Chains A and B, each alone.
Chain A
Amino acid sequence: MSNQAIAYSEILDQVCNYYDDVIAPKKIKRDSSNAIYQVFKAVAKGCEIINNSADALRNRLDPKLCTQEDLLETAKLVGTEPFLGKASGLYITVTNSEPQVLTLFAGEYIFDVDNELSFTFEVPQNISLEYEQEASFFAFSNTVGVHAITAMDNMVIRRSDNSPIHASLIFSCQNNELLLGTSDETPAQFRNRLLYDERRQDALSELENKIKSLPYVFDARIVFNNTADAVEIDGVTLPSFMALFMLNGVPRLEIAQIFCSQTIYPTLMTDPDKFIPFEATCFIDGVIKVFYRDFGTTFYDVEVAYSFDPLLVTSAEIQEEFDKALLQFRQNNVHKPIVTEGEFYEALSKVSRPSLKVQYVKMYEDVEGTPTLVDFVSCPPTRIPKLSDITYTEA
């Protein structure tokens, strides 16, 4: 029996051929009136079931061919799990607009975007705010995934216990384009990661993944210079045996605890205010400062050329669909070393309209203020690539 799933008819044929060989020169008549043939048909059906089970068993430990259940079970066995989705984040600022001290009372505050989506933040204790004084809070969406919010000056906020909020406390927010959440890793993405991500055992990659698994961290990158010489990364000089820690998320103490949990890499200070303390009495001054740096952004543009039959579909419809398909590139908030045209072709291929054909995708990177045609967009570990403009060309 071959090492793959085979159909009932093939098995029946193989059984009959084998039987022909052993009873040669006679041959079995392949006819339903032949009782032995009927027996073989029943046997072939059973063999098909067993063979399919055997096939699943044979591939049980193969990340490329195993079943979905086996994939998750075997991955868990060796300590690998799919990435869970993340909620989107939003910084909400409250300002006292009345010329007297007001109190923002402790409690849970909710910003309802619509009937289904809301952002929630907690005020842990009563806060007194002077006139025009501000306080900022980090809110999470109630569901995982990408939930983009544009800047707002006067937000309608309510308390979860429905207690009143003083009308002179004004809530506002900024764009949350770098705080967008993600969906759960799909089985196909997980399988793909298992097969092709070769950095998973790397100590720094493991550390990055631990930090990235925190719900309030959207991306983290650690670059460690293990050479004898200083290296320059995106204008930052990284001395020998020092780490550059890039963080996109809320800098909470837990991050420093994870960062220092196994090996303490000295981190490069790029801003004296941007550090997370890891407190332990065994250290000088009782603390280790884990310095971090915010990600920068690499903006790029694309040109999409397409052809279509105007009798069957309008250009506006196509462009609307394309805009939706490419939204993920605009909303990206994680670092990628390169962005290729292939990713755009793949995203655009999901748009199917009668007669529509994508002719080409061209990528342009901003080089000293001039859009320059590039084969791919390269992004240093200190930056997040973001699609800026899309130009459509009817070919």
Chain B
Amino acid sequence: MKRVFRFLDGTLNGFYLKNIHHCLHEFSQSFVSLFAYHASFVFKMGEDVLEGETSIEEKDIKNLGAFAGVFPPYITSESNKGSILFTPSFIVNGREYSERALRDRIYEVFRFYRTNQGVYTDDIVTLSSPQLQASFVPSGTPILGYIPDDVSMFTTDGQIIHENILDEPPVGQAWYPYYGDNFLFLAETFLIEAYIAKDTFMELFFSYQRIRYNGASFKEFVFLTDLIMGDYIKDVYVETLPNRVIFFYSFNELVPLQNKVRRTFIWKYIIETKFKQVVLEEVMN
């Protein structure tokens, strides 16, 4: 450093030296965050980490998955739901109340309203929101935009891509009206290949590895069903035949479980690859 001072001579006023430090500090920042992450990352989701821990990044958990032979599967046909969704039965005190409901886009469940004869709620359209969407569009509702037939309307994590909504109907192409985020789209044109989010992939990875080490026992089957599906699975019974086990179940559509479609997909996917002699049979209520 002695030479620096000698060279700078009269121009040395601290400004240059301060900026050398500033420049180098700036350069070190990318390393600092990387080293900090590698010193503290743990195999946990964000909500489970303790002080001083960092949740493993999505790309790292997927890379680890590749080491273990767990690749994120693409969900296909089951994700391609249209807006015509049928509500399940919803009975309160012996009365059917499944007429008025909004679809919870995040939890993939219906929320029912007007479930007490003595209590009047607002109009279902008034109650709707971007998360709780209505499928009924009142007469006279203005069209806010136009969705071309062949574009994806959702990001990989389920958010609406507003940029793909046109102001004018596309020429020479089929389109669907867009009435606002409060309404389910008449045709959900998102790609049939859906994305396995980090939390779902973590459970897929964890289940696979657990079965790899503990074996494909009935205990593990029950554990993984509870882990991935929770109370979404109901009315379970098992029939044992000489060469296979038939697992009967039905879905409890009223249970608020995030990413139901994806979870159901990976649950079936794991059973197909690990429990070859188990046959899943859904019982419709």
- Indicate, yes or no, whether A interacts with B: yes
Residues of A at the B interface (CB closer than 8 Å) are 1, 14-15, 18-19, 22-23, 34-36, 38-40, 43, 47, 50-51, 54, 57-58, 60-63, 74-75, 77-80, 194-195, 197-204, 206, 224, 226, 240-242, 261-263, 265-266
**Contact A15:B68 (CB < 8 A) given known A201-B273, A203-B274:** no
Of B7, B69, B71, most A-chain CB atoms within 10 Å: B69
For the A-B complex, the count of residue pairs with Cβ-Cβ distances under 8 Å equals 117
* Interface presence of B127 (CB below 8 A): no
Within 8 A of A (CB), among B211-229: 212-213, 215-217
Q: Which of A15, A35, A80, A265 contacts B277 (CB 8 A)?
A: A265
Contact B63 A63 (CB under 8 A): yes
A240 contacts B243, C-beta separation under 8 Å: yes
A204 and B34 form a contact (CB under 8 A) = no
Tell me if B68 and A80 are in contact (CB < 8 A). Answer: yes
B8 at the interface (CB under 8 A from A): yes
Cα–Cα, bound, A360→B30 (Å): 51
Selected from A22, A40, A47, A54, the residue in CB contact (under 8 A) with B22 is A22
Please tell me if B236 contacts chain A, counting CB pairs below 8 Å: no
Residue pair A203, B19 in contact (C-beta under 8 Å): no
Assess the B67–A77 pair: CB atoms within 8 A.
yes
What are the interface flags for B57-72 relative to A under an 8 Å C-beta threshold, 1 for contact and 0 otherwise? 0011001101111110
Q: Given A15-B23, A18-B23, A78-B64: A200 and B35 within 8 A (CB)?
A: no
Instruction: Flag if B276 contacts A265 (CB, 8 Å).
Output: yes
Q: Are B30 and A80 in contact (CB under 8 A)?
A: no
**Interfacial chain B residues near A57, Cβ < 8 Å:** 34-35, 38
B20 touches A61 (CB 8 A): no
Would you give the shortest CB distance from B107 to chain A, in whole angstroms?
29
Query: Whole-angstrom distance between the alpha carbons of A38 and B24 in the complex?
Result: 14
Taken together as a complex, chains A and B put the C-alpha atoms of A194 and B273 apart, in Å, by 18
Query: How many residues on the B side are at the interface (Cβ–Cβ under 8 A)?
Result: 44
Contact A35 B68 (CB under 8 A): no
Within the assembled complex, what's the spacing in Å between the Cα atoms of A19 and B23? 6
Structural contact, A61 and B60, CB atoms closer than 8 A: yes
A206 to B35, CA, bound (A): 36
Q: Can you spell out 30 A-B residue pairs with CB atoms less than 8 angstroms apart? A: A1-B27, A14-B27, A15-B24, A18-B27, A19-B19, A22-B22, A23-B15, A23-B19, A36-B7, A36-B16, A39-B4, A43-B24, A54-B31, A54-B35, A61-B67, A78-B67, A78-B68, A78-B209, A79-B209, A197-B69, A198-B69, A199-B69, A201-B274, A203-B275, A204-B276, A226-B279, A240-B243, A263-B276, A265-B276, A266-B243
Chain A contacts for B7, CB-based, 8 A: 34-36
Determine if A35 and B3 form an interchain contact, defined as CB atoms under 8 angstroms apart: yes
10 additional A-B pairs beyond A35-B4, A63-B63, A194-B66, beta carbons within 8 Å, are: A23-B15, A35-B6, A36-B8, A54-B30, A78-B67, A79-B68, A79-B209, A200-B68, A202-B274, A203-B275
CB pair B277 A241 closer than 8 Å: yes
User: Within B16-47, which residues are at the interface with A (CB < 8 Å)?
Assistant: 16, 19-20, 22-24, 26-27, 30-31, 34-35, 38
Chain B residues within an 8 Å CB radius of A22: 19, 22-23
Q: Does B178 sit within 8 A of A, measured CB to CB?
A: no
Q: Which 7 A-B pairs have the closest CB atoms?
A: A200-B69, A78-B68, A241-B243, A35-B7, A1-B30, A35-B4, A61-B63
A198 touches B243 (CB 8 A): no
Q: What residues on A are CB-neighbors of B213 within 8 Å?
A: 79
Once the chains bind, are B38 and A202 in contact (CB under 8 Å)?
no
Q: Is the CB of B20 within 8 A of A19?
A: yes
Q: How far is the CB of B76 from chain A (nearest CB, A)?
A: 16
Q: How far is the CA of A79 from the CA of B68 in the complex (A)?
A: 7
A residues less than 8 Å from B217 (CB atoms): 262
Q: In angstroms, how far is the closest chain A Cβ from the Cβ of B277? A: 6
Known interface pairs A1-B30, A263-B216. Does A226 touch B276 (Cβ–Cβ under 8 Å)? yes
Chain A residue nearest to B41 (CB atoms) is A61
Q: Is the CB of B216 within 8 A of A39?
A: no
Rounded to whole angstroms, the CA-CA distance of A242 and B277 in the bound complex is 9
- Cβ of B208 under 8 Å from chain A: yes
B215-A201 in contact (CB<8A): no
Query: Does B244 count as interface, using CB distance less than 8 angstroms?
Result: yes
Residue of B nearest to A239 (CB): B243
In the bound complex, CA of A106 to CA of B136 (Å): 88
Instruction: Assess whether A47 is in contact with B66, with CB atoms less than 8 Å apart.
Output: no
**Assuming the A-B contacts A79-B213, A262-B215, are A50 and B31 also in contact, with contact meaning beta carbons closer than 8 angstroms in the complex?**
yes
Which residues of the other chain, B, contact A19 by a CB distance below 8 angstroms?
Answer: 19-20, 23
The CA-CA distance from A40 to B17 in the complex, in Å, is 12
Q: Nearest Cβ in chain A — how far from B267, in angstroms?
A: 15
Whether the pair A18, B277 counts as a contact (CB closer than 8 A) is no
> Which among B23, B213, B273, B279 has the greatest number of chain A C-beta atoms within 10 A?
B23
Contacts of A261 in B (CB 8 A): 215
Verify A54–B20 contact, CB threshold 8 A.
no
B residues within 8 A CB of A265?
276-277
In contact, B27 and A15 (Cβ under 8 angstroms) = yes
Q: Are B38 and A60 in contact (CB under 8 A)?
A: yes
Chain A residues whose CB sits within 8 angstroms of the CB of B273 once the complex forms: 201-203
A203 to B8, Cβ gap below 8 A? Answer: no
Q: Which of the residues A1, A74, A203, A241 comes within 8 Å of B244, measured between beta carbons?
A: A241
Contact B20 A226 (CB under 8 A): no
Chain A: which residue is nearest B24 at the CB level?
Answer: A43
